[in-house]
Structure 1
Amino acid sequence: MKIFKILSLFLVLATSALTAQNKQITLEEIWNGTFRTEGLQALHSMKNGQQYSVLNFDRANRATTIDIYDYKTLEKTKTLVSSADIDAIPYFTDYTFSEDESKVLLATEEESIFRRSTLGKYFVFDTETGKTTLVTEDKIQEPTFSPDGTKIAFGLNNNLYVKDLNSGKITQFTTDGEKNKIINGITDWVYEEEFSFVRAFDWNADSNKIAFIRFDETDVPEFSMDVYGEDLYPTQSVFKYPKAGEKNAEVSLHIYDLKTNKAEEVKVNKAYNDFYIPRIKWTNNPDILSAQYMNRHQNELDLWFINAKKNQSEIVLAETDKAYIDVTFDLTFLEDDSFIWTSEKDGYNHIYHYDKNGKLINQVTKGNWEVTSYYGYDNKTGRIFYQSVENGSINRDVYAIKLNGTKKRRLTDKTGTNNADFSANFTYFINTFSNASTPYLYTLNDAKSGKVLKVIKDNSDLKNQLTDYQLSEKEFSTINVNGNDLNMWMIKPANFDASKQYPLFMFQYSGPGSQQVANRWNSANDYWYQLLAQQGYIVACVDGRGTGLKGADFKKVTQKELGKYEVEDQIDAAKLLGQRNYIDASRIGIWGWSYGGFMSSNALFKGNDVFKMAIAVAPVTSWRYYDSIYTERYMTTPQENPSGYDENSPINHVEKLKGDFLLIHGSGDDNVHVQNTMRMVEALVQANKQFELMIYPDKNHGIYGGNTRLQLYTKMTNFINRTLGDKL
């Protein structure tokens, strides 16, 4: 009897374990936060180099806090700010310290404008007195402390202001700002999106001058979007959007002198026609401003040093490229005003050291691999810290190297994606590690040796939770397509049987310099791919020609012909995969979002004998409809390169459609306008082609909010099952 009970208990436990391991991922779980990872929000290294701060949420008090932690012990030493103690602030969403850390700027009531820009109300918290002061009753943009911490500059209604924190006086120093005409110190739509910055003003070291870019977008064509909302009549959002070949904003550089209360335009000693100013930054010398000027084709970049006192300017560095030059934030001025610069000029992205006059001192890093992040320079040890793909293009590691290019040391030892956040004095770094099988692991590391000193967060709860699910390994490999070994990952069903045949569903993005085949932890899409694998699909992703981190030649081969080589690679990769015994070549599908939607549309039309179905979300359907800076970087203008624009745009290949096509877009997409999809729809209708269409009212390029993502992915899953899953 006792034996029977023991056997029964064993069978119950075994069945429970088996059931637990076979738990299936659901779409609801993917989008309700079930698989959310823990992290360190708004991490900031304190100036003393011994502590760091993090933004936390105090659930007991329903308050946000800035908490200070000790690097050595990882113990919380104090709560610096809590919204529970400030009557005027129910909560704040971000914070910024003044340089001396005597004050903290707290962001509240933030509302999104475009991808990077926000409006918000901001408070200054004095760490010594505990006093909190509202900057202004208005919602403002990009408030920034002066280096001495006594003032804040900010943007409001396309003009610039300075608030003296001692007197409380606010001075408006530009007056011509006007919506859809003149913007001072804040970037226009296309700069924000394609040069990836919003604050177009900068304080000098002495806190007595502010340099800023002025945008005159009077002649830039306007784009309008209907906003349907919930009222009886819709409204319109109207904004300046320069499409390829159209008029850009005219930019000019200005310097405001706080002592004289005058702003004057800066003139450089070179005549530019139709140019960009993608970066400005003061050097350590309070009278010397650096400014980067770039031609419209973006294949010439000049670094100017401008003497604000003498009103003189000189080019200290000039780069040219047969294709284009990527603008970065890596320019760093050392104590002697020599500077660090990154460039692809030897065929791979590397670090260079120039003297203060622009003379090359040395190339710091070298090799057939890419530097992917520049972290900083430690003046005490003479070491530069950076991230690179030296350990394989799908991996990232943290390295240190002497300024003269010697004594390089790898500081991370786990294979996958490592990213460092260094203490202010470069004694420590917090490393964020993940790979395809390891959720984010946060460790405290010694910056000298890279040695792990302590584990901060390891997401062990999530990892334990996932043991209940039937998950498949993400297998990394390469596939030789058109003479190139392309990076690939593949996810097979957990019960994969090589003697059976499975439908193949491919994902890609494929945009210039991008990467989707990377050894890192799951995104929401990865859980969706696991769900599809559970349902009997093989999911694969191939990074074709034009993608990044394999050298400039590999990346720039698509120049002037976006959608040619990348599409060829996806079609030919699908053909090769279809030859594998375990893949059903008659059931291959492909999908993508944005550039990936442009690609999946093209792949279905041009590869109509290979792909049975495609899903295109928010796709560009003709590069004539997309913005000037991005498109012309790779294509020049439509006037110069009409065939490049038209021959590879899917809108011109709709007559080749044979398979099933699902087209999805948000009507409030300010980036890739729904116009792209509407023109595609009209072309498909006139070609008498059947397809499916889903429009998400008022949703932007991300198509999210409420149940939107759940509904979207349910729709896509159902479409895949209906078009590829007929034999499952």
Structure 2
Amino acid sequence: MKFRNIVLGLIITASSVVYAQDKQITQEEIWDGTFSQERLQSLQSLDNGKEYVVLNRENGTASIDVYDYKSGEKSRSLVSTNDLDEISSFQGFELSDDESKILLSTEVEQIYRRSSRGVYYIYDTADGSLIKLSDKKVQEPTFSPDVSKVAYVYENDIYIFDINSGEETRVTSDGEKNKIINGITDWVYEEEFAFVRAFEWNKNGNWIAFLKFDEEDVPEFSMDIFGEALYPKQEVFKYPKAGETNSEVSLHLYGLASEEIEDVELGDYEDFYIPRIKWTQDPEILSVQVLNRHQNKLDLIFVDAEDNEAEIVMTETDEAYIDVTDNLTFLEDNDFIWTSEKDGWNHIYLYDEDGELENQVTSGEWEVTNYYGYDKKSNRIFYQSTENGSVNRDVYSIKPNGKGKTRLTDKTGMNSADFSADYTYFINSFTNTETPYEYTLHNAKNGRLVRKIKDNSALLEKEEAYNFSPKELSTIEVNGNELNMWMIKPSDFDPNKEYPLLMFQYSGPGSQSVSNSYFGTNDYWYQLLADKGYIIATVDGRGTGLKGADFKKVTQKELGKYEVEDQIEAARVLGAREYIDEDRIGIWGWSYGGFMSSNAILKGNDVFSLAIAVAPVTSWRFYDTIYTERYMTTPQENPSGYDENSPINHVEKLKGDYLLIHGGGDDNVHLQNTMRMVEALIQANKQFDWAIYPDKNHGIYGGNTRRHLYTKMTNFITENL
């Protein structure tokens, strides 16, 4: 009897193991955080180079905790809400340069993608005192270098708060919504030049340089926000669509001693952008980047604040466009480091203080993908690059003369670094297709491992029950190019069977969707589809990044031509494989990817039988000036480039199943794109499916939204592909 029970127990156990390995992933698990990876949140090095801080939240308490780099031990807390009576929590923080004070953000509300406003407090780390910056919700508060003041923007005007006296000085007084903006960027600058704060303290704290945006002549865009009230609310904001009037931008200097504003004349420019301002190591010299509207000529200008004179020190030109970055770094003697694609690949260059080229620091048929900084003590520049293949990243150091290059990471995959303030250490985050994020501490001199910090081994253990399929990296020959590709197959894949194929892509200029990295959230959705018998693949075609300027910029003036040709041809090549059913190939994408998937099912109607487009651009005439004109010039100059590759002009070619999805509150790619596409399809008598998510922005999220959206897409795929 005992023997029989043991055997029965073994059978039950074995059955449980088999069942566990065959566990099917669900939509609930994908979106409830079941497979989320552990990260290091708000990591920031302290100036001593020996410690770093992390924002921790536990049991309703928020604290900024200090850890020792070498040991990993927590040494103290800079601040904890347990010790504060005035506030119970805070969302973010900013340390002053000398780390004596901290700005704590509370009641933060999002405005657009990068902008927000909130109520801020100033915490003194020495005596534990807390001062409220303002009763108002303000934007972009920033300490002065001597930490005696905080400058911020409220209702489009700049203010300065004196911490000791509590007095507030109003710097500008002409700010007005949809007319004049001081010290922060307008919508299109924020979205496309990726910055919000448009004012900068100089090194001595006696000057503030700031940008003013006169957007009175910029056309307005409006959208209804339905909410829960009886009447909807109308949001009206300035949005310059391609070919329309931009804000008139100007540069100004505010002298704290004189309390006067000086206008800066940069030169004989018309219809231009100022995408960056930055003070140099000389407290009287401000650097300004001026970009023409076509974005193919950039002047680096030095402005002498004392005599208000501007001088061009360097000019860069490109037949297509110039990418704006934050890589400009000034050394103590005002020599500066710059990155450029001038030799066909993105590399690091060293210039003297007069703008004369001293040396091209890096070179080769690979891209510098991140510039981390320069360490004076070791005389080394630290950067990330694709030297080990375009789907991988590694961290390197090199001397400004281009010699002594040292590879600081040794695992093949995606490596990125966060350096200590004195460049003694760096925390490396690593992932590849088999490894969720791992965090390790290394010596910055030689890359030697100091200690392991955090990994996601618990996630890997959890995933064992699901028997997930690997993400297979490879290349595919398409239109004369070796294109990067990943593929996920069903876990019970049989090469002798035929499977339907779903392709995903983004394809925007300079983007990358194929990399040697672990599953993201969408990859778990692809596992769900793989469990249902689908193969999923992504191909990075021409126009995507990290394979040289020529490969990236071939799409200039013709967005949606070569990228679409590559997706159609890639589908044909994959459809010829014995295990793929060439009559059941679908494609989907979001934003630029939605533009692409729409074009693909129209222009490739003999290849694709299904497409899903989420928040798509359907005509580049509807999108903003800075992004669109960078690649297309204006519609007045290039009407055929705009119209011949816009899905809205090819609706009569629709044969397959098409699903359109958009957020009703999308301030970026406006719902107008989908509404105009819908009307064109109706007038062409084409049947399709569509869904609008009320008040949701370009990301279409919040509450149960993502789960609903992906369930809808899953059902559409399983019913039609």
Match of 1:713 in 2: 710
Match of 1:188 in 2: 186
SS state at 1:533 partner: helix
Alignment of 1:126-145 (within 5 A): 126-145=124-143
Distance in 1 (CA, whole Å) between partners of 2:179 and 2:598 is 37
Match of 1:106 in 2: 104
Match of 2:87 in 1: 89
Alignment of 1:470-481 (within 5 A): 470-481=467-478
Please give the TM-score of this superposition, normalised by the length of structure 2: 0.99
Match of 1:506 in 2: 503
Match of 1:425 in 2: 422
Match of 1:253 in 2: 251
Letter in 1 for 2:712: K
Distance in 2 (CA, whole Å) between partners of 1:710 and 1:28 is 7
Alignment of 1:576-587 (within 5 A): 576-587=573-584
Letter in 2 for 1:245: G
Match of 1:158 in 2: 156
Distance in 2 (CA, whole Å) between partners of 1:321 and 1:7 is 75
Match of 1:267 in 2: 265
Alignment of 1:168-183 (within 5 A): 168-183=166-181
Match of 1:64 in 2: 62
Alignment of 1:66-465 (within 5 A): 66-268=64-266, 270-465=267-462
Cα-to-partner distance string for 1:336-384 (whole Å, 9 max, x where unaligned): 1101100000000000010111111101100000000000111001011
Cα-to-partner distance string for 1:495-552 (whole Å, 9 max, x where unaligned): 0000000000000000000000011122110110111111100000000000000000
Query: Does the 8 Å CA contact 1:352/1:363 hold for their aligned counterparts?
Result: yes
SS state at 1:464 partner: helix
Letter in 2 for 1:34: T
Query: Does the 8 Å CA contact 1:200/1:213 hold for their aligned counterparts?
Result: yes
SS state at 1:468 partner: helix
Indicate yes or no: 2:509 matched with 1:495.
no
SS state at 1:67 partner: strand
Match of 1:687 in 2: 684
Q: Displacement of 1:689 after TM fit?
A: 0.2
Distance in 1 (CA, whole Å) between partners of 2:219 and 2:156 is 18
Moved more, 165-174 or 653-662: 165-174
Match of 2:45 in 1: 45
Distance in 1 (CA, whole Å) between partners of 2:542 and 2:565 is 9
Query: Does the 8 Å CA contact 1:486/1:543 hold for their aligned counterparts?
Result: yes
1:610 pairs, out of 586, 607, 610, with 607
Distance in 2 (CA, whole Å) between partners of 1:286 and 1:645 is 46
- Number of aligned pairs? 721
Q: Displacement of 1:2 after TM fit?
A: 4.8
Q: Return 5+ residue gaps in structure 1 as ranges.
A: none
Distance in 2 (CA, whole Å) between partners of 1:502 and 1:43 is 44
Distance in 2 (CA, whole Å) between partners of 1:371 and 1:17 is 47
Match of 2:482 in 1: 485
Please give the TM-score of this superposition, normalised by the length of structure 1: 0.98
Moved more, 516-525 or 220-229: 516-525
Distance in 2 (CA, whole Å) between partners of 1:75 and 1:463 is 26
Query: Does the 8 Å CA contact 1:289/1:305 hold for their aligned counterparts?
Result: yes
Q: Displacement of 1:147 after TM fit?
A: 1.2
SS state at 2:500 partner: strand
Q: Displacement of 1:89 after TM fit?
A: 1.3
SS state at 1:487 partner: strand
Q: Displacement of 1:405 after TM fit?
A: 0.6
2:617 pairs, out of 599, 602, 620, with 620
Q: Displacement of 1:4 after TM fit?
A: 3.5
Indicate yes or no: 2:646 matched with 1:649.
yes
Match of 2:29 in 1: 29
Query: Does the 8 Å CA contact 1:432/1:440 hold for their aligned counterparts?
Result: yes
SS state at 2:655 partner: coil
Q: Displacement of 1:5 after TM fit?
A: 3.7
Letter in 2 for 1:283: T
SS state at 1:584 partner: strand
Letter in 1 for 2:354: N
SS state at 1:467 partner: helix
Cα-to-partner distance string for 1:380-428 (whole Å, 9 max, x where unaligned): 0101100001101001111111111111111111111111000000000
Cα-to-partner distance string for 1:140-161 (whole Å, 9 max, x where unaligned): 0000111111111101000001
Q: Displacement of 1:461 after TM fit?
A: 1.3
Distance in 1 (CA, whole Å) between partners of 2:252 and 2:517 is 43
Indicate yes or no: 2:563 matched with 1:566.
yes
Q: Displacement of 1:3 after TM fit?
A: 4.3
Distance in 2 (CA, whole Å) between partners of 1:673 and 1:382 is 48
Indicate yes or no: 2:12 matched with 1:8.
no
1:635 pairs, out of 619, 626, 632, with 632
Cα-to-partner distance string for 1:622-647 (whole Å, 9 max, x where unaligned): 00000000000000000000000000
Alignment identity in percent? 68
Distance in 1 (CA, whole Å) between partners of 2:396 and 2:12 is 51
Q: Output the aligned Cα RMSD.
A: 0.8
Cα-to-partner distance string for 1:655-704 (whole Å, 9 max, x where unaligned): 00000000000010000000000000000000000000100000000000
Query: Does the 8 Å CA contact 1:470/1:534 hold for their aligned counterparts?
Result: no
Moved more, 401-410 or 581-590: 401-410
Letter in 2 for 1:545: R
Distance in 1 (CA, whole Å) between partners of 2:211 and 2:275 is 10
Letter in 2 for 1:583: I
Q: Return 5+ residue gaps in structure 2 as ranges.
A: none
Distance in 2 (CA, whole Å) between partners of 1:418 and 1:145 is 33
